[in-house]
Amino acid sequence: MEANLGLGNKTEEIVVGLTEKITSLKKNKKAQFFMPPNIISEFLSFFEDKEQGFIKSLLLQITIKSPDISKVNLPSRVFYRLIEDIRERSYRGLNIGEEEIESSAKLFQGHKSESTKEFQIKIGGVIKKFRERYRNATRAGFLDSVADLDLIMLSLEQDGYLVTTDEGVLNWGRYFGVKEMPSQLFIKHIQGLT
């Protein structure tokens, strides 16, 4: 929805336009579209009313399938890279934690004890900044959910294209050797198939 696919400006317009294109391609047996259940759950989490017709229409056109992880073999180099990446991110997160703890300590240096409310107000900003910096240091550009890994494994299993705007999924998809299609070209590609 954030990829600016040229299907509209509102989420509903984008989903309806995408559904129309997928329906046409499936009808003519020119393409298949898969999504793992975890990604469907993420998609549905964006909507308060999950029973809307345009949502159901899209889901009727998508094959919802979990990857069969027992059939996908991965080279050990992937796991070595994964462990290295986790270690580097953990270290960056620790450094950020130390910086923010020092920052919060400076807020209270030389102050008399304050009420709980005053303390929470002062420390709240530090905690918020810490959370943002920590999230960016440890999660940006990384596989940070099983749903992300499901996308890659399903693409491998189906020998299909991975289409996503998630940089972490794209980076790791490349490392796993998955075929990918930039989301900006996805609509042009499927329009060419119709």
pLDDT, tens digit (0-9, with 9 covering 90-100), for 175-194: 889 999 887 788 888 877 76
Question: DSSP state, 113?
Answer: P
SS3 118: helix
80-134 pLDDT tens trace: 887 788 888 788 888 888 787 777 777 766 666 667 777 777 777 777 888 888 8
The domain containing residue 175 runs over which residues? 11-65+144-193
> Are both 173 and 135 inside the same structural domain?
no
The mean pLDDT of 53-82, rounded to a whole number, is: 87
- Res 165: pLDDT: 84
Asked, for residue 30, whether it belongs to a domain, the answer is yes
At residue 59, the pLDDT reads 95
Closest CA to 175 of 85, 62, 89, 57: 85
Per-residue tokens: 164: 């996503």
Specify whether 171 is located in the same domain as 82. no
Phi/psi of residue 131, each to 5°?
-60, -45
Give the Cβ contact number of residue 164 at 10 Å: 20
Say if residue 81 is in the same domain as residue 135.
yes
